[in-house]
Amino acid sequence: MAFHTQQSLSGFIASEPQQSVTENGDTRFYVRIGQPHFRHEYSGSFTALEPTFHDLVAYRATAERALARFAKGDSFVAEGYVRTFQVERDGETIQREEFVAKKIGHDLARTNYQVDLTHRDASNTSRDTEVAHETEVAHTGSGR
């Protein structure tokens, strides 16, 4: 089976997260994000360049979780897609784009945190056992 992939984005939260509600009543998370950039030098070192700034949004449950967990300055990794749209400003139509995060989390390489696994219950444990068994079957060719 082929891998299912989507676009990804990493960077830092550059503004205070904002909450709004869509016309459908869904929660919307909005932030400006920054992306660091570097130039590789002949010496092998890297020179930091000015970051670029972009819009990131998330909706529904992802938005609610992001609002509860993210603050300005946090490093993140997100999966989703770029949405291009037009806005009218001073009588002129402007092309804009934003990253729509379907999944978002703190960047493990740049964030210290603890994971709370207390939510795991017997159904998750049995599901994990089934996945491990299916993996064993796939690798050995037998379920024994």
Q: pLDDT grade, residue 139 (50/70/90)?
A: very low
CB atoms inside a 10 Å sphere around CB 113:
9
At 101, which amino acid appears?
A
Is 31 in contact with 14 (CB distance < 8 Å)? yes
Percent of the chain scored above 70 by pLDDT? 83
Q: pLDDT grade, residue 130 (50/70/90)?
A: low
Question: How many Cα atoms sit within 13 Å of 126 on the Cβ side?
Answer: 3
> CA distances (Å), 57 to each of 28, 32, 67, in order?
7, 9, 11
pLDDT of residue 20: 98
Least confident of 31-45, 84-98, 109-123: 109-123
> CA distances (Å), 103 to each of 33, 73, 99, 123, in order?
15, 19, 11, 23
Higher pLDDT, 131 or 62: 62
pLDDT of residue 114: 86
Domain boundaries, the chain: 7-111
Q: Report if pTM > 0.85.
A: no
pLDDT of residue 137: 44
- Is domain 7-111 annotated with CATH 2.40.50.140? yes
pLDDT of residue 140: 44
pLDDT digits 0-9 by tens, 90-109? 999 999 999 999 999 999 99
Evaluate if residue 127 carries a pLDDT over 70: no
pLDDT digits 0-9 by tens, 38-65? 999 999 999 999 999 999 999 999 999 9
